[in-house]
Amino acid sequence: MHGHEGLVHIFLEGENLTKGMVTDFKHLGWLKTFLDDSLDHKFIIDRHDPNFQKIMNTAHPISSTSQSFVTVDDHQLSFQNITIPGSNDIVACRLNTDTLDSPLEQEFYQSFVIVDFVPTSENLSKWIFDIATVRMEKLGIKVSQVDWFETPKSRSTYYRSA
């Protein structure tokens, strides 16, 4: 297991400029908040990863996306959906740790963002692209490209094909 930094560049395009801009930065505040609140200092893991069961320290397999909880040391931790702000589109989930007594255990299990894809840099670029597209299309703005920098020297790019 290993982790990376995550720096996101998002490229937008529009048919017309309004006040000399494609959009105002205030229309992207939700994305920064989403990244800070949902991903910052989190471990993104595919729920189908064979190590997920081991990490969760559970003997019960996580078998499907419809499963609503995981049992950890005789505690049921329910999945809480993470949605795109301003929509009902579910993009990931986290664990509800209210049933755990230990603050250290709560902190550990709260550190996971659980997705339904292998969280490679390339897939994370597409994921952020899709998330941003849902919100920006409502404003008539196209997301043309997302760069995900996993280190200062390496990045992946996902872009809208013509």
Topology annotation, domain 7-16+26-159: Tetrahydropterin Synthase; Chain A (3.30.479)
| The predicted structure's pLDDT at residue 131 | 95
What would the pLDDT profile of 49-74 be if each residue is shown by its tens digit? Answer: 888 878 876 544 454 445 566 776 67
What confidence category does residue 99 fall into, taking pLDDT thresholds of 50, 70 and 90?
confident
Model pLDDT, residue 63: 47
Among candidates 137, 142, 91, which has minimal Cα distance to 113? 91
- pLDDT per residue over 101-124, tens digit each? 889 989 988 999 999 999 999 999
Q: How far separated are the first and last CA of the chain, in Å rounded?
A: 36
What are the structural domain ranges in the chain? Answer: 7-16+26-159
Dump pLDDT digits (tens) for 2-60.
666 789 999 999 888 888 888 888 889 999 999 999 998 899 999 888 888 788 765 44
Angstrom distance (rounded) from CA 137 to CA 116: 24
pLDDT of residue 69: 66
